Amino acid sequence: MIRLEKTLRAWGTPEFEGVFKQELAQVGNAALHLQQALVAGSHVTDAPPTVMIIRMEETPASIRIHAGLFFTSIIAGCSCTDDPTPPNEYTEHCEMAVEVDRVTAETRLVRLE
């Protein structure tokens, strides 16, 4: 389970947006399930995503954030030494609902279609 503890502690402060963006980007592309959001490429690169906050709301139980994630992908080739195809990077995008429990910081991520 993902826990965004720094994000929870920063809620209501001027630093919240920066803390959230940094902490979510550090979760790791595999945990964010970015592979399922690919459109142009066939493999997500290891570069962390850039996070954009679209909307936020607070409930008694959680902090809900609608976020946009920009990440890069490539079309993976055979990696042969004589492969003439250079690896092109593509910019990909997906939107995600992020819900942080206000007591435990346990975080639920749902990729939005």
In this structure, what token pair is assigned to residue 57?
A: 């709301």
What is the domain extent for residue 48?
Answer: 2-77+86-112
Write down the mean pLDDT value for the chain: 92
In this structure, what are the phi and psi dihedrals at residue 6, rounded to the nearest 5 degrees?
-65, -40
pLDDT at 67 (0 to 100): 98
Query: How far is it, in rounded angstroms, from Cα 21 to Cα 53?
Result: 8
CATH label of the domain that carries residue 91: 3.10.450
Secondary element (H or E) of residue 24: helix 16-25
Structure confidence by residue, pLDDT tens digits, 69-84: 999 999 876 666 666 6
Pairing status of strand 89-101 against strand 43-44: unpaired
DSSP reduced 3-state for 109:
strand
Going from the C-alpha of 58 to that of each of 98, 99, 111, the distances in angstroms are: 12, 10, 19
The total number of structural domains that make up the chain: 1
In this structure, what are the phi and psi dihedrals at residue 34, rounded to the nearest 5 degrees?
-70, -25
User: Which DSSP letter does residue 83 get?
Assistant: -
Cβ atoms of 73 and 38 within 8 Å: the answer is yes
Structure confidence by residue, pLDDT tens digits, 27-58: 999 999 999 999 999 999 999 999 999 999 99
